[in-house]
Amino acid sequence: MTAYVAPNAKRDSPDSALRRFRQKVVRNIYWGATIGSVVLAAVQGWIGHHGLAGLLGVASILFIWAALQSRHRLLPQKYHAVFVIVTCIAVNYSIIENGIKGLYWAYPVMSSLFFLFNRRLTLIVIPVVYGSFVVSSYLALSFTHSWRFAVSLAMILVLGGTFIVLLQRLQKSMTELVVTDPLTGLYNRNRVTQTLIENIQQKERYKRPASLIMIDLDHFKSLNDEHGHLFGDQMLKQTAKRLLGAIRATDTLFRVGGEEFLVVLPNTSSQDANVAAKKLIKVIGSRPFEGKGATVFITASAGVSELQPGQAWSQWLSRADQALFEAKNNGRNNVVLQSDTTSDAGNPSNKDD
């Protein structure tokens, strides 16, 4: 048995990675809009369109501020709404003032909208912006040009929407791959931190208890040495199946190490979790495991930890790990509650099986 170390909560969560990606895309959009606005403001001022130049100058200042703010956080949707309003006014002004030349700027503005808003707001914002551009084109241009512009812009929206939907599905699939153990199909350690934090929030808000059960298969290294790692993999898959069949629908099961499993039990006190842990240990050890070429009995040890007020997820997890360490020291094939352990400090490490 080796002490379990959870991934960093801020850096390793798949959801955090997706937020960072979106934050970077949004920041680049604002910097791109800043550069474009500054250049266009200079050009419009040079050719005598001072009203449009002033509007673009104000927009540049707003975009710089938004780009700097997005370095540290994902901006709220209301800030993106300001971006849309300013750019929409500027593009419509340009269409009215410059005619067909103003149409060119509608395409990058429309494309950026897919990345700024959630799906519900995107479905509201895009038709409004699209409609304003089309109306301006009909007012400023001949019908021959305006209908072609309307159709081409609509095609961009269809292609952009298709791309975003596919990207979202790909992100969802990749997230599932990141948080799923390929051998057992259980959640892996990449999902642990998020689940623990969610249970801590539930306790803080609703005063509901929550407990952990850390399970380690006894003498699993010896089993691997005797029968081979492929046989060991079969045992791990069968263990996962037995545990899944024994926990509640509200519980979450993880494989967090080679032969270590973690069960998160919401709305569960340490006493109830202790009963559940004994049941799980019995499920594992009460009947033989059938593998290719051999039939073996496997036992397991478990540590139970209930979430305490003000406790961080790492402390909560450490207590379960310590309880498991004590169960191993007490002869294995048993359950130890966190209250039976002696200290919160430190983690057990590098103890064989």
Top mean-pLDDT range of 32-46, 111-125, 226-240, 338-352: 226-240
Of 11-25, 223-237, 253-267, give the lowest mean pLDDT range.
11-25
pLDDT digits (tens, 9 = 90+) for 182-222: 999 999 988 899 899 999 999 999 999 999 999 999 999 99
| Residue 110 reports pLDDT greater than 60 | yes
Give me 152's structure tokens: 């081409």
pLDDT at 4: 54
pLDDT digits (tens, 9 = 90+) for 166-184: 887 887 888 788 889 999 9
Which amino acid, one-letter code, is at 194?
Answer: Q
DSSP 238-300: HHHHHHHHHS-TT-EEEE-SSSEEEEEEET--HHHHHHHHHHHHHHHHSSPEEETTEEE---E
> What predicted TM-score, i.e. pTM, was given to this entire model?
0.67
pLDDT at 351: 45
pLDDT at 14: 58
Average pLDDT, the chain: 87
Distance CA 286, CA 275 (A): 16
Q: How much of the chain, in percent, has pLDDT values that exceed 90?
A: 53
Catalytic residues: 259
Which residue did the predictor score with more confidence, 67 or 4? 67
Give me 3's structure tokens: 């002490």
Distance CA 185, CA 172 (A): 16
Sign of the dihedral defined by the CA atoms of residues 30, 33, 39, 40, in that order:
negative
- Domain(s) labelled CATH 3.30.70.270 in the chain stretch across 189-340
| Residue 300 reports pLDDT greater than 60 | yes
Distance CA 209, CA 267 (A): 5
Superfamily of domain 189-340: Reverse transcriptase/Diguanylate cyclase domain (3.30.70.270)
Q: Which of 188, 184, 258 is nearest to 221 (CA)?
A: 258
Across the range 240-244, mean pLDDT stands at 96
Give me 50's structure tokens: 């001072």
| Residue 151 reports pLDDT greater than 70 | yes
Beta bridge partners of 264: 212, 252
Which residue did the predictor score with more confidence, 167 or 92? 92
248-to-195, 251, 253, 254 alpha-carbon distances in Å? 16, 5, 10, 14
Question: 252 with 235: CB under 8 angstroms?
Answer: no
DSSP 31-63: HHHHHHHHHHHHHHHHTT-HHHHHHHHHHHHHH
pLDDT at 1: 57
Rounded to 10 degrees, what is the CA torsion of 121, 122, 127, 128? 50
| Residue 19 reports pLDDT greater than 90 | no
Distance CA 166, CA 303 (A): 43
Across the range 10-29, mean pLDDT stands at 71
| Residue 82 reports pLDDT greater than 90 | no
Quote the strand ranges of the chain, DSSP E.
210-217, 252-255, 260-266, 289-291, 294-296, 300-306, 335-337
| Residue 135 reports pLDDT greater than 50 | yes
Sign of the dihedral defined by the CA atoms of residues 30, 31, 36, 39, in that order:
positive
Cα within 13 Å of Cα(220), Cβ side: 29
pLDDT at 79: 82
| Residue 347 reports pLDDT greater than 50 | no
